Amino acid sequence: MKKATFLLCLYSVGFLFTISSCENRKKQDETDARTNTGTSANQSKPNVLLIVVDDLGYSDLSPFGGEIRTPNIQRLADNGLIVQQCYTTPLCAPSRAMFMSGMDNHISGIGAMPPFQAASQYMQPGYEGYLNDRVMTLPEVLRENGYHTYMSGKWHLGHEEGRRPFEEGFERSFSFLGGGASHFSNSFPLGPEEVIHTVYYDDSVKVKKLPDDFYSSNYYADKMIQYITEQKDDRPFFGYLAFTAPHDPLHVPDDWMNKYKGAYDKGYDHIRQVRMDNMKKLGLIPKDLPINPGSGEYKKWNELSAQQKKVEARRMELYAAMLEIMDLDIGRVLEALQKEGKLENTMIILIGDNGANPKDPSFYKTDMKPFDNSLENMGKPNSFVSLQGAWAEVTATPYSYFKTTTGEGGVRVPLIISGKGVTIKGVDATNKILGTDIMPTLLEIAGAKRPDTYKNNKLAAMTGTSFNKLLGNKQSTVRDENAGYGIESLENKAYYKGDWKIRFLMPPFGKGRDWQLFNVKEDPREKQDLARKNPEKLQELLGGWNEYSQKVGYIPYHGGRAYSVLGPENFFKAKLDSTNKALIEKASLELQRGGE
């Protein structure tokens, strides 16, 4: 693996970054940008590199208290802004829809992550399973305003014709269309329902075979570097580097197998305490905040057998190694920018899409027979192991729960903004930033205008708010404290207003019928449900939730899962034709007779 050793000498540079776009090989792309192509205008606009980390725990990275070695990300944080309260959704695709559209996922087409739509939601507005026609994507707007646009990595926002990255505004792209897959060249899908979008595209060409030495993080970085270095003009560019690490399966190259050997032998609570201590020193959490003991859903370390401890420690060793590899690959991209003379004019945003994944491979209905998951083989190309719940809780320290839930550990994610235009440093612990805020912020920074219509379709209004002023003024307020906002995914719900939050969790982590009330400022671990003690506040926030859900077009889950009702072939037609309508109506009648 190539080392980003150049970064060790950047302590004297204020990490003002420039990202440049590459000149497209196709002639039509040379004239595709319609405005702001003059030299002086180009130089006044920053390049932007948006880095998304897949299933990242809140406290994994060193700037957020983690023990995992992430020196390049640390330097971004040291020379930029850490946002303590950044919120997305509990799942990958809805969060990415926020980033690419600037609007709530129930408006943009990912109201439910495909293929998990209910029969009641299937192909309804906001639940299409891809970015719908009410969206003009971030790369589309920037490209219309003079930017080159590049993508490398995970898409997860549509595999259908017309919905792929090269059709959604990216001038150059190497894209993985699905939610997850092997990190090696064998590219096996997570499970049978993932097969249809376990596909790679090199620009518009479907990849028949990955290179033998393919490893996801390395290759995604290679492609972004290629796009940057191939660019010959001085136009600004937007780069979207969307890693699939550390999403399961946990895979690392052979020379990384033992990089963290023994680091996790002391178990869950030891790492929790290490991270808590680090976070207190960094000013990320109150000094008197107690350790979060977890949900109680999983065995404690001292309840495990010696063999179980070895397996559990190994999971975390592999997970940590995946993150360090990714960090080094980020370093290589920064090195390429430096060599191209573009580093000082680049803004870099690094964000997680949701919390760490608690599921094991059985969640994906995977046939485990082909895999060798012995302790000695874990992490190799023919293995399929996941982090699972106990460690996923640890990665959320000090918060509760993880991916799939609306606990803070599922929806509060790391956010670092560094480089061009970021004149303040340190931790912002006051403002709440949402995933929907990224697009309006970048459009404001780029001086880019989003039209009211695009491709003869009327666009929905963006729901996000620009946080551009915050980057130069610590006293800035991004959104009114009394302006509430909601989150929902697969019936897991949350609504925030000021210091207060209501939370609704589906089984197995909740009852699926009761709302809970928390003061997140006083109780960030969400351990004290105040719903009975403060019914007035509960009702106030429930009113806010109802208003939010109506505004964004939330459709309750009803009628069973559409994938099961329709069958795979009909489901993936992505059409509410006469056949699918009849099947959904039949299922609805059967449920009415027998109860859902």
Does residue 9 have an active-site annotation? no
Q: Which residue among the candidates 92, 148, 159, 247 is catalytic per the annotation?
A: 92
Amino acid (one-letter) located at 38: G
Quickly count: other Cβ atoms within 10 Å of residue 167's Cβ: 15
By residue count, the chain amounts to: 596
Give dist(CA 107, CA 560) in Å, integer.
22
Residue 159 annotated as catalytic: no
DSSP per-residue letters across 274-307:
HHHHHHHHHTSS-TTPPPP---S-S--GGGS-HH
What single-letter amino acid sits at 468? N
Pairwise CA distance, residues 438 & 139, whole Å: 12
Q: Which is it for strands 426-434 and 453-454: parallel, antiparallel or unpaired?
A: unpaired
Could you give the CA distance from residue 390 to residue 180 in angstroms, rounded to a whole number?
Answer: 21
Starting at the edge strand found earlier in the chain, the sheet holding 346-352 runs 205-206, 200-202, 172-176, 148-154, 237-242, 47-53, 346-352, 415-419, 80-87, 426-434
Contact 413, 405 (CB under 8 A): no
Minimal CA–CA distance to 110: which of 183, 179, 182, 202? Answer: 179
DSSP lists the bridge partners of residue 488 as 493
Of 346, 240, 331, residue with least CA distance to 16: 346
Tell me what percent of the chain is helix, strand and coil, each rounded to the nearest 5.
35, 15, 50
Which one is catalytic: 106, 148, 156, 159?
A: 156
User: Partners of 47 in the beta sheet?
Assistant: 346
Residues assigned a catalytic role:
92, 156
